[in-house]
């Protein structure tokens, strides 16, 4: 969809990420790339002409206005930090009411001090993943430009989130593209239940994304994938809430799983802006954790020294890498389906985030992911496998001595446990057949934290015996 509608938004505009281009476009324009050079777009603001509070504490005043939707939303409570939309256009369902939790049990597992490990529990969003933070913003922009239909390709959570906003607002028809057989049932059930037209493409996520981009370019459909720069504006609020949870202090580390790299990119942007605005005096370090079976960022950054280079990152290196990947027909493969992505669309933005935050990238095996996920759940925070990558990553960075035991670490739990119950059950069941099917192909051969059900006869004495009473 390409259209221009007259909106008076002179303080916010879309800007090409590449400093050598730097082209700007009105926020009333619908585009997913720079019209001049094809690069990624950022939403930027003329902060001097906008009201910006002089301290982050100012936002606490909104807590007393929780009966107003835009003060209750954990995204729009920070509207002053993503001022691209007039209030009457905002599409919100009270997303982002997600707390930061201190978790001594998980701290012990990763080897940091008992009070130093925090979980930002984004599974508590309306559709059960952090995606709602971004989808409220993209849906708002879709409304601003008068879109009638929204679309996305998805490993599952994006479609669930898009579908919920289309369903609840009644403003858009909604179509989601998913790869065949690659979507966790919890997520697929949501898209169907919220009424999205669901296309199962014979291909994987990378294929589905390529197709949806083509279709949206040729037809009046508003594209909501993470190439959509407005989504990332909403996702910045996850970091505002992390700091809120720490009494507006900046942690030492932010740890996040990396899939399409929208989240990590938005975090870098959030901290860069807060620093520029003088609202923080220090920027945390960022750790992006790939699954070993979908480690494009990790390989490019750590083995091939790809970096932001002030906006002049090595495009040839990236092109060659993808060329080899295609020639060898290499496909992403991990149990953490939400990050099973080999061509992260926000790669270059994530390089900027790594530069802003002095960041690191690591990859972790599926065995490490499912064990970490089980440990998080055992301490009361149910999350899906992709989120488990954060804790597996912290463990690795602790072992390397890059994260210190005294560092304060905030991990983003990106999606809820109930998104992928199949895998959880396979882990705990101890049923060799089920486990083998689900877990072995991914290289998971042990389940040290399994909590298997005990089968007993329908007999009180047998039950008492099984309970060891």
Ligand X SMILES: *Cc1c(COP(=O)(O)O)cnc(C)c1O
Considering only CA atoms, which of 14, 22, 12 is closest in space to residue 311? Answer: 22
392 binds Zn ion (CB under 5 A): no
End-to-end CA separation in angstroms for the chain: 67
Q: Which does 388 bind (CB under 5 to 8 A by kind): Zn ion, ligand X, none?
A: none
Give yes or no for residue 39 binding Zn ion (CB under 5 A).
yes
Q: Apex CA 312: angle with CA 23 and CA 20, to 5°?
A: 25
CB 361 to ligand X: min, Å: 12
Note the residues at the interface with ligand X (CB under 6 A). Answer: 129, 131, 157, 226, 257-264, 338-339, 384, 386-387, 414-415
- What is the 8-class DSSP label of residue 252? S
Residue 21 contact among Zn ion, ligand X, none, beta carbon within 5 to 8 Å by kind: Zn ion
- Under the binding rule (CB under 5 A), the answer on residue 21 touching Zn ion is yes
Question: Least Å distance between CB 401 and ligand X?
Answer: 26
- Answer with the entry of Zn ion, ligand X, none that 23 interacts with (C-beta below 5 to 8 A by kind): Zn ion
Question: Helices 432-439 and 421-429 meet at what angle, rounded to 10?
Answer: 130
* Residue nearer to ligand X on the CB measure, 121 or 172: 121
Q: Angle at the Cα of 441 (from 371 to 426), degrees rounded to 5?
A: 50
Confirm or reject binding of residue 34 to Zn ion (CB under 5 A). Answer: yes
Out of ligand X, Zn ion, none, which partner does residue 36 contact, by CB within 5 to 8 A per kind?
Zn ion
**37 or 299: CB nearest Zn ion:** 37
By beta-carbon proximity to Zn ion, the closer residue of 72 and 213 is: 213
Beta bridge partners of 4: 29
34 binds, among ligand X, Zn ion, none (CB under 5 to 8 A by kind): Zn ion
Q: Is 68 in the site for Zn ion (CB under 5 A)?
A: no
How many other CB atoms are there within 10 angstroms of residue 218's CB atom? 10
Tokens of 292: 């070993």
User: Pick from Zn ion, ligand X, none: which does 359 bind, CB < 5 to 8 A by kind?
Assistant: none
Q: Shortest Cβ distance from residue 161 to ligand X (Å)?
A: 8
Judged by CB under 5 A, does residue 277 bind Zn ion?
A: no
Query: Is 36 an interacting residue with respect to Zn ion (CB under 5 A)?
Result: yes
Work out the burial of residue 118: count CB atoms within 10 Å of its CB; fewer than 13 is exposed, 13-18 middle, 19 or more buried: buried
Rank residues 182 and 269 by Cβ distance to Zn ion and give the closer one. 269
Q: If contact means CB under 5 to 8 A according to the sort of partner, which of ligand X, Zn ion, none does residue 338 touch?
A: ligand X
Q: Nearest approach, Cβ of 42 to Zn ion (angstroms)?
A: 11
Tell me which of Zn ion, ligand X, none is bound by residue 370, counting a contact when its beta carbon lies within the kind-specific cut-off of 5 to 8 angstroms: none
The residue nearest ligand X at its CB is 415
Cβ proximity to ligand X, 166 vs 353, nearer residue: 353
**Which tokens is 265 given?**
């990119």
Residue 386 binds which of Zn ion, ligand X, none (CB < 5-8 A, kind-dependent): ligand X
For residues 85 and 12, give the distance between their C-alpha atoms in angstroms, rounded to a whole number: 9
Q: Which stretch binds Zn ion (CB under 5 A): 5-13, 22-30, 97-105, 170-178?
A: 22-30
Task: Round to whole Å and give the CA distance between 327 and 2.
Answer: 33
CA torsion 21-22-27-30 (nearest 10°) is 20
Least distance in angstroms from the C-beta of 16 to Zn ion: 3
Among 7, 16, 332, 397, binds Zn ion (CB under 5 A): 16
Rule CB under 5 A: say whether 311 interacts with Zn ion. no
Number of H helices, E strands in the chain: 16, 13
**Shortest Å distance, C-beta 256 to ligand X:** 7
Cβ contacts of 58 within 8 Å, gap of 6 or more? none
Q: List the single partner that 259 binds among ligand X, Zn ion, none, CB under 5 to 8 Å by kind.
A: ligand X
Q: Is 345 helix (H, G, I), strand (E, B) or coil?
A: coil
Closest by alpha carbon to 134, among 69, 50, 74, 55?
74
Segment 241-244 long-range contacts (CB within 8 Å, at least 24 positions apart): 241/74, 241/96, 241/98, 241/99, 241/100, 241/120, 242/100, 242/118, 242/120, 242/410, 242/412, 243/56, 243/280, 244/56, 244/59, 244/100
Burial of 319 (0-12, 13-18, 19+ CB in 10 A): exposed
Closest C-alpha to 102, from 251, 225, 235, 233? 251
* β strands within 253-335, DSSP E: 253-257, 285-291
Residue nearer to ligand X on the CB measure, 56 or 396: 396
Closest CB to ligand X among residues 27, 291: 291
Which lies closer to ligand X via its Cβ, residue 18 or residue 296? Answer: 296
Looking at the Cβ atoms of 7 and 413, the one nearer to ligand X is: 413
Residue 155 CB, nearest distance to ligand X (Å)?
7
Residues in contact with Zn ion by CB under 5 A are: 16, 21, 23, 34, 36-37, 39
């Amino acid at each position: 969809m390409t259209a221009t509608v007259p909106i008076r938004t002179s303080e916010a505009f879309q800007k090409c990420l590449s400093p050598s281009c730097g082209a700007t476009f009105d926020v009333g324009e619908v585009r997913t790339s720079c019209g001049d050079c094809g690069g990624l777009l950022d939403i930027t603001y003329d902060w001097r002409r906008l009201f910006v509070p002089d301290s982050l504490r100012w936002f606490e005043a909104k807590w007393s206005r929780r009966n107003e939707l835009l003060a209750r939303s954990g995204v729009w409570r920070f509207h002053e930090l993503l001022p691209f939309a007039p209030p009457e256009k905002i599409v919100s369902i009270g997303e982002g009411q997600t707390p930061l939790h201190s978790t001594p049990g998980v701290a012990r597992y990763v080897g940091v001090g008992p009070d130093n490990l925090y979980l930002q529990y984004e599974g508590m969003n309306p559709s059960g993943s952090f995606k709602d933070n971004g989808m409220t913003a993209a849906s708002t922009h879709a409304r601003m430009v008068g879109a009638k239909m929204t679309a996305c390709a998805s490993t599952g959570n994006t479609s669930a989130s898009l579908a919920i906003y289309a369903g609840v607002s009644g403003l858009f028809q909604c179509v989601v593209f998913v790869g065949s057989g690659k979507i966790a049932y919890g997520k697929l059930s949501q898209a169907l239940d919220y009424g999205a037209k669901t296309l199962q493409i014979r291909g994987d996520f990378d294929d589905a994304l390529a197709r949806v981009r083509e279709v949206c370019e040729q037809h009046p459909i508003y594209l909501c994938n993470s190439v959509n720069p407005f989504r990332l504006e909403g996702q910045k609020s996850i970091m505002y809430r992390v700091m809120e949870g720490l009494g507006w202090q900046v942690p030492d580390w932010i740890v996040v799983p990396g899939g399409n790299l929208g989240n990590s990119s938005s975090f870098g942007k959030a901290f860069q802006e807060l620093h520029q605005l003088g609202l923080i005096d220090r920027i945390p370090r960022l750790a992006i954790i790939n699954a070993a079976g979908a480690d494009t960022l990790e390989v490019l950054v750590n083995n091939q020294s790809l970096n932001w280079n002030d906006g002049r990152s090595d495009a040839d290196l990236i092109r060659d890498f993808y060329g080899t990947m295609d020639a060898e027909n290499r496909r992403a493969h991990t149990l953490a389906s939400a990050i099973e992505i080999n061509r992260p669309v926000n790669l270059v933005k994530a390089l900027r985030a790594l530069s802003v935050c002095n960041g690191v990238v690591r990859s972790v095996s599926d065995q490490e992911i499912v064990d970490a996920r089980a440990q998080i759940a055992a301490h009361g925070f149910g999350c899906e496998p992709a989120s488990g990558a954060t804790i597996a990553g912290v463990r690795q960075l602790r072992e390397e001595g890059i994260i210190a035991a005294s560092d304060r670490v905030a991990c983003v739990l990106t999606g809820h446990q109930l998104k992928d119950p199949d895998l959880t059950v396979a882990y705990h069941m101890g049923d060799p057949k089920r486990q083998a099917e689900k877990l072995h192909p991914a290289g998971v051969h042990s389940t040290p934290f399994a909590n298997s059900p005990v089968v007993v006869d329908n007999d009180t004495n047998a039950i008492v015996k099984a309970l060891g009473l």
